[in-house]
Amino acid sequence: MFKVQDNKIKMKKLSIGTLIKNRRIATTSFLVVAAILTVGMTIVPRVTADNITDQIKQLQQQNANNKNAVAQLQEQAVSYQDAINRLQGQINSVQGQIDDNTAKQNEIQATIVANEAELARQRGILGESIRVSYVESKITTIEMLATSKNLSDFVDKEEYQTAVKNKIQATLQRINDLQNQLKEQKTQIERLLAEQQAQRAVLASARSEQARMLSYNQSQQSEYNQKTKANQAKIESLIAAQRRANNTTDGGYYFLRFSGSAKDFNLQAYPYSDAGFSMSTAPGCVDNDGPDKWGYCTRQCVSYAAWAVEASGRSAPRYYGNAKDWVAAAYRNGVEVSRVPQPGDVAISTAGTWGHAMYVLEVDADKIYVAQYNANLNGEFSTQWRKY
């Protein structure tokens, strides 16, 4: 969860003897400066480990719930988007049908208009034919025969008029029939268009509802993400409190004294210096950070302290848990616990979320000089003077 950039501090290999010898030279100056600084310092109240742990776990649970809610919302968002896409496809299909039927409607209307013009023309022709027939009907048959060159002309003339009238009447009937068919088709298309337009309106309404739900879904996702971000900021603040607790150099330590005589060793020969590192509070080690051979996550203060005890020639404490748990574990395992330090002890601070474990290199009056890992929650080696 909390990943810290792996930026190894490059230092020369130091033995306990060499480091103590160099530090003695600076001890007097350190005491003077420390005394001056202490005059104006305000003591930072210790943060209880249980309180911070509970807060971090609660915030982590909230973030887990938030992430789960966002994941569910994202699944819903996909279904909303799919529904929107399907509805839009249906709208496009219906719109295509509407466009086709509108084109047909326009074609039919244009044909109806053309037929009406032709019908008017044919009626005009028929009217003229009827008028001519009427005029000619006023002429007697004797007169028609008299004016005709022969009987054949008379017969042809009468047959022609009859044929013209019959043809015009047939054309009128055909146009009327076609007009009736076109009007029926137009009525059907208008009804179909009304249905399709109503269907399009329903689909558009459904699409708008899906879009509204998608927008609300996205706003919920944003809200959960903002909560997660705020919780993460709180977690980082709590982690910073642990970092401050680790670097509190004034008192409150327990000193675990493991049996045997401590010998000199290379402080930076810790075998897991290149191993994984994580500040996740999940149970167990994660991200390739262990456990180490003593049951701790690598590049943590407890892992280094256990190794230092073993490197000094004694039996390392195994599976003692977080640093704040080491005092109780020491009592259970018959390890001496003192409030007065000596070189070779493991100093335990129970402040902060997890506490802090350090290997005591030197004792000078009311101060201890320690070697440690992860004091700044970055998985790095450091040394430090502390007041006990």
The pLDDT score that the predictor gives to residue 148 is 55
358 occurs within a structural domain:
yes
Domain CATH for 198: 1.10.287.620
The pLDDT score that the predictor gives to residue 238 is 76
- Assess whether 269 and 229 both reside in one domain: no
E strands of 259-380, at which residues?
336-338, 346-349, 356-364, 367-373
DSSP SS3 for 276: coil
The CA-based diameter of the chain, rounded to the nearest angstrom, is: 163
- Interhelix angle 151-246/49-137, rounded to 10 degrees, is 170
Domain CATH for 362: 3.90.1720.10
The pLDDT score that the predictor gives to residue 219 is 92
Domain of 136 in residue numbering reads as: 70-238
Low-confidence ranges of the chain (pLDDT < 70): 1-53, 129-130, 132-158, 160-161, 242, 245-251, 281-282
- Assess whether 252 and 234 both reside in one domain: no
- Assess whether 256 and 221 both reside in one domain: no
CB 242 within 8 A of CB 44: no
- Assess whether 217 and 312 both reside in one domain: no
The pLDDT score that the predictor gives to residue 25 is 42
227 occurs within a structural domain:
yes
**pTM: predicted TM-score of the whole model, two decimal places:** 0.47
- Assess whether 186 and 258 both reside in one domain: no
The pLDDT score that the predictor gives to residue 144 is 55
63 occurs within a structural domain:
no
The pLDDT score that the predictor gives to residue 183 is 86
Domains in the chain: how many in total?
Answer: 2
The pLDDT score that the predictor gives to residue 239 is 75
Residue 238 exposure: Cα atoms within 13 Å on the Cβ side: 24
The pLDDT score that the predictor gives to residue 155 is 54
The pLDDT score that the predictor gives to residue 125 is 78
The pLDDT score that the predictor gives to residue 314 is 98
- Assess whether 258 and 379 both reside in one domain: yes
Which of 205, 238, 271 is the last residue before a domain boundary? 238
CB 39 within 8 A of CB 293: no
43 occurs within a structural domain:
no
Write the single-letter amino acid at 340. Answer: V
- Assess whether 229 and 264 both reside in one domain: no
Give the list of residues 6+ apart from residue 179 with CB closer than 8 angstroms, or none.
112, 115, 116, 119
